[in-house]
Amino acid sequence: MASTNPPTEYITLVSSDDYSFVIRRSAACISPAIKRMLDPANGFIESQTNTCRLDNINGLVLEKVCEYLYYNEKHKDAKDVADMDLPMELVLELLMAADYLNGMFCI
Amino acid sequence: MANRPPRQGLNGNDVDFDTTWQILERAFLEIHTKNASQLSFEELYRNAYKIVLKKKGDALYNKVAEFEHRWLGDTIRVRIVKLLSAPFLFNDDIGRTLATSAERRAGGEGVLKALKQAWEDHQVCMSMLTDVLMYMDRVYCTDHRQPSIFAKSMGLFRDQILRTPVRQGEDNLITILTRIILDQIAMDRDGEAIDRYLIKSNVYMLEGLYESEQEVEDEKLYLREFEESFLQKSAQFYREEGERLLKESDAGTYCHHAKRRIDEESDRCRSTLSESTAPKIQRVVEDELIRNKMKGLIEMDSGVLYMVDNDKFNELHLVFDLEARVDPRKPELTKALQQIIADMGAKINEAAVATSQAPPQAAPAPEDGEGDKSKGKQDKQINQQTQAALKWVADILDLKDRFDKIWEISFGRDQTIQTALTRSMSENINSFGRSSEYISLFIDDHMKKGIRDKTDQEVDAILEKAIVLLRYLQDKDYFETYYKKHLCKRLLLKKSQSTDVEKQMIARMKMELGNSFTLKLEAMFKDISLSEDLTRGYREHVAGLGDADRKRVDLTVSVLTSMTWPLEAFRSANEDDGETRAQIIFPPALDLVRQGFERYYSEKHSGRKLTWQTSMGEVDIKALFKNKSGQMRIHEVSCSTYAALILLLFNDRQPDDQLSLEEIEAQTNIPMQSLKRTLQALAVAPKTRFLSKEPMSRDVNPGDKFSLNDDYLPKTVKIKVGVVSAGNKVEGDRERKETEKRNNDSRGFVIEAAVVRLMKTRKELAHAQLLNETISVLSSRFKPDVNMIKKRIESLIEREYLERMEDAPVPSYKYVA
């Protein structure tokens, strides 16, 4: 059982097909859903293990999501940022993932 | 996996609501029992997400609500209700008698703690649930305009915990909670220690709950359920406490107490209740302890009168401070102060009237005891009157100083109070008929003796005091009349100590009352200095004539402009108008001098007429007297011109020669009344009995005969014959009436002049407006009587200065050019 350690700098996102993505906490927390998941105040298991298992997002899509989270964080203060390049075949799944992760409609 | 159709997540028939809800429900129970650490947020979130995605959002929402309803109602409320002991279930009057305050406090704290715990737990759990159900809130609640699940659950807490009767037919928890808090506050007010933080936590709860799920700001339960009772209860508490204190303690203590209570209540709001209540409870305390009690407080035996009497500056400040809180105009305090000043002023005025009217023999002992300098019995009554005047002025000044001090120390130089004090002082002074005269006498007294041995600063202070009184005076024209009269005597009889100070006084009056007021006074000074030049000039002129006649009589003159000097002040009491015209017969030696001066004067100023005011003259005579051993001694006799004329009649006569009163009158032409008085001084007064009278009696009667008194032995080289009307004294009733009549006459002219001036510029004016403007124009000099103005207008119409306008809607006048 993981200890209730202080928030780490990096956290892990796990896809439904068991791909792990270690990304910066600040980037992950751009999604309100992930942010709440990791909130130590609530004390759910995710906040203790610093790992979020997202059971309805597969690795392909989660990779793009992580890419977007970094992209978003990198440009959060910039203006006139060009849209991120998205493969057409993933667009619908990405849209659903965004809805699920709450509020990432800025693709 | 990449080619798994995305659609699967969308239709997903595999989602079974009941199973999913069971997972959630189990998890929620864990959360409520503080066992969340093994739960996966993601799993719960995903399940809720799925249900909402399946359009089952409303079912989920209702299930959650139902879950909370059950949890709060069955678990939490039961837990709290168990803690309620008997006292809290009844209305406080019954409840309070059932237990000691310590029991009640402990029991109350138990309930408060349980409620606080329940509320805090509920907050935490609901915030976790809200996070898990975020997707439902965002999608279902927003789309279906439902309150968020958090708001909903807060409403459930309100209804299930606070609003449900604890048992069938009994009060609900919020009523009991209010009762407990009020009870604890009552203990706090009585000085018992309570757990403020605990109450504050419960207040937070009430502030966090609203009447409806819309969470309207002014529908907080705190405002709706608690505050009103708190304010009512406090009002009742302070009403009773105020009444009790008024009965039991003195005003000073009351003020201290009230101030402390006000501070306490605002502290209480900060530490125990809500800041938002502070202004409201403040108002309640102010109403109950101050506004409704101020009158009673001020009228207490130990109230404002007592404080003023005993110089309780601190207490007065408190009273002032308290009333200033409830009303910036401080009506009760102002009223009380005005009443006190009016009473004190009335006492001073009465005392002055009493002293001045008391028969002279009634008062001599205390008068002498006070170090009164009066010598000679005839002065006594005069002095008594003057003393009354001086005492009045001193008392009024004392009164003013006293309240000025209070005003400075206790009332923080408050503007409103100052205005009220000034008005009261002014009323005091103006309600006293003789104030103008007395103030002038006060100045007169200081000019004659008061300023001796005083530094400039002290003199300054006295002058300032006089000006202060003058400022209050309404009828400044009266004052001018008296001042002129008194100044006139000071100047002519050379009683003034210092011309400089006199001039300073005039300068001050000029600043205070304006140029026109002092014009005539300044003219009097000018006349005096011109007269000095004239006298010197005449002496040189006489010396220049060459014959140094040693017997020639030396002359000092005062040439006075007749319009400026109030010469009637010297005459009116003694003579009738008819008699003044009679020419006094001078003996040749004097007549020569008189004619000589008249010639000299008319050479310098042609066209001026000199009238000799013999009654005001003074003469120095050198006379030979035999002393006991038969030697002849020269004595200097200083006496009035009349006395000199009479004595000169006896100059060439033998000791046995007698002259009757009528003979003397015929030979001198001195008016009878003055003659009698002068003869009294010469033949009756023991120290200056130059003449003997037959028969020997105090009064001089027709037919009395006078002869030289050979036995008269003067004790000093210089002899002063009691000079009639030497000092300035208070007027007698007859004199006053005359002064008033004269003053009224001159007021009449002043009013007419003002009316004509106004009408000349305005051409047409309504009656009321004319009255108002006339009064305002004249206000710097005196307060005109409306009837007098009306009469004057009538008279002006008769004399065709004005005419009534026939067609005007309101009565109006028109100026006739």
pLDDT tens-place string over residues B678-735: 887 787 777 777 787 777 777 777 878 888 777 777 777 777 776 554 455 566 677 7
Under CATH, which number does the domain B7-219 receive? 1.20.1310.10
Contact (Cβ atoms closer than 8 angstroms) between residue B486 and residue B497: no
- Residue A76, helix vs strand vs coil: coil
What was the pLDDT predicted at A14?
92
CA angle A7, A31, A97 (to 5 degrees): 130
Instruction: List the strands of the sheet with B812-815, edge to edge.
Output: B764-766, B812-815, B802-804
> Which CATH number do you get for residue A20?
3.30.710.10
Closest-approach residue (CA) in chain B for A62: B2
Measured between alpha carbons, how far is B690 from B711 in angstroms, rounded to an integer?
9
Task: Write out the residues of chain A at the interface with chain B, using a CB-CB cutoff of 8 A.
Answer: 4, 16-17, 32-33, 36-37, 39, 41-48, 52-56, 58-60, 92-93, 96, 100, 102-103
Contacts of B39 in chain A (CB under 8 A): 44-45
Residue A105 belongs to some domain of the structure: no
Give the confidence band of A43 by pLDDT, cuts at 50, 70, 90.
Answer: confident
Under CATH, which number does the domain B617-720 receive? 3.30.230.130
**Helix boundaries (H) for B147-250:** 149-157, 173-189, 196-208, 221, 228-248
Asked if the model's pLDDT at residue A21 lies above 90, the reply is: yes
Q: How far out from the chain centre does Cα B261 lie?
A: 29
What was the pLDDT predicted at B93?
56
Query: What phi and psi values does residue B561 have, to the nearest 5 degrees?
Result: -70, 125
- The pLDDT tens digits for B579-637 are 444 577 888 777 878 888 888 888 888 777 777 777 777 788 887 776 666 677 788 88
Residue A28 belongs to some domain of the structure: yes
| Averaged confidence pLDDT in chain B | 79
In CATH, what is the architecture of B331-532?
Up-down Bundle (1.20)
CA angle B223, B228, B233 (to 5 degrees): 145
Q: How far out from the chain centre does Cα B366 lie?
A: 34
Closest-approach residue (CA) in chain B for A48: B37
> In which region does residue A103 sit, left (phi positive, over 0), alpha (psi from -120 to 50) or beta (all else)?
left
Task: Give the mean model confidence (pLDDT) for residues A83-107.
Answer: 77
Task: Give the mean model confidence (pLDDT) for residues B177-182.
Answer: 86
What residue type is B387 in one-letter code? Answer: Q
Lookup: tokens for B622:
């050198």
Buried b / exposed e along B550-580 (16+ C-beta atoms within 10 A): eeebeeebbbbeeebbbbebbbbebbeeeeb
Residue A77 belongs to some domain of the structure: yes
Measured between alpha carbons, how far is B409 from B314 in angstroms, rounded to an integer?
8
Cβ contact, residue pair B43, A54, below 8 Å: no
Closest-approach residue (CA) in chain B for A101: B135
The more confident residue out of B396 and B301 is: B396
What was the pLDDT predicted at B177?
86
Q: Of B810, B711, B710, B795, which Cα lies nearest the Cα of B756?
A: B795
Give the confidence band of B371 by pLDDT, cuts at 50, 70, 90.
Answer: very low
Lookup: tokens for B110:
């138990």
- Residue B634, helix vs strand vs coil: strand
Cβ contact, residue pair B37, A54, below 8 Å: no
What are the structural domain ranges in chain B?
Answer: 7-219, 237-297, 331-532, 617-720, 733-815
Residue A35 belongs to some domain of the structure: yes
Q: Lowest mean pLDDT of B393-397, B532-536, B779-783, name the range.
A: B779-783
- Tell me whether 0.85 is exceeded by the ipTM: yes
Measured between alpha carbons, how far is B581 from B677 in angstroms, rounded to an integer?
19
Range of the domain at A35: 10-100
Count CA atoms within 13 Å of residue B479 on its CB side.
27
Asked if the model's pLDDT at residue B172 lies above 70, the reply is: yes
CA angle B239, B245, B251 (to 5 degrees): 120
Count CA atoms within 13 Å of residue B383 on its CB side.
17
Cβ-based contacts under 8 A for chains A and B: 68
Q: HEC profile for B316-345? A: HHHHHHHHHHHCCCCHHHHHHHHHHHHHHH
Contacts of B138 in chain A (CB under 8 A): 102-103
Asked if the model's pLDDT at residue B201 lies above 70, the reply is: yes
Instruction: List the strands of the sheet with B691-694, edge to edge.
Output: B659-660, B705-708, B691-694
CATH topology for the B237-297 domain = 5 helical Cullin repeat like (1.20.1310)
Dump the DSSP string for B369-382.
HTT----STHHHHH
What was the pLDDT predicted at B482?
84
Contact (Cβ atoms closer than 8 angstroms) between residue B89 and residue B180: no
- The pLDDT tens digits for B261-289 are 888 888 888 888 888 888 888 888 888 88
Q: How far out from the chain centre does Cα B621 lie?
A: 58
Contacts of A42 in chain B (CB under 8 A): 36, 41, 127-128, 131
**What is the rounded radius of gyration, in angstroms, for the C-alpha atoms of chain A?**
14
Task: Give the mean model confidence (pLDDT) for residues B7-35.
Answer: 75
The C-alpha of A105 sits at a distance from chain B's nearest C-alpha, in angstroms, of: 14
What was the pLDDT predicted at A20?
92
What was the pLDDT predicted at B8?
44
The C-alpha of B64 sits at a distance from chain A's nearest C-alpha, in angstroms, of: 18
- Chosen for mutation from B40, B42, B150 (greatest number of chain A CBs closer than 10 Å) is B42
For A43, which of B6, B36, B49 is closest by C-beta distance? Answer: B36
Measured between alpha carbons, how far is A59 from A49 in angstroms, rounded to an integer?
20
In CATH, what is the architecture of B733-815?
Orthogonal Bundle (1.10)
For A37, which of B1, B36, B41 is closest by C-beta distance? Answer: B41
What was the pLDDT predicted at B6?
43
Length of chain B: 817
Contacts of B128 in chain A (CB under 8 A): 42, 44
Q: Of B529, B332, B478, B358, which Cα lies nearest the Cα of B783?
A: B478
Cβ contact, residue pair B6, A96, below 8 Å: yes
Measured between alpha carbons, how far is B737 from B758 in angstroms, rounded to an integer?
31
Would the CATH topology of B7-219 be identical to that of B331-532? yes
Q: How far is CA B9 from CA B17, B42, B213, B220, B263, in A?
A: 15, 16, 34, 43, 65
CA angle B315, B319, B323 (to 5 degrees): 165
Mutual angle of helices B515-544 and B588-604, in 10-degree steps: 110
What was the pLDDT predicted at B604?
81
CA angle B580, B737, B389 (to 5 degrees): 110
- Residue B514, helix vs strand vs coil: coil
Task: Give the mean model confidence (pLDDT) for residues B383-389.
Answer: 76
Residue A34 belongs to some domain of the structure: yes
Q: Lowest mean pLDDT of B186-200, B412-426, B486-500, name the range.
A: B486-500
- The pLDDT tens digits for B759-790 are 888 888 888 888 888 888 888 778 788 888 88
Dump the DSSP string for B712-746.
---SSSEEE---TT-S--PPPHHHHHHHHHHHHHH
Task: Give the mean model confidence (pLDDT) for residues B524-540.
Answer: 85
The C-alpha of B40 sits at a distance from chain A's nearest C-alpha, in angstroms, of: 5
Q: How many distinct structural domains can be found in chain A?
A: 1
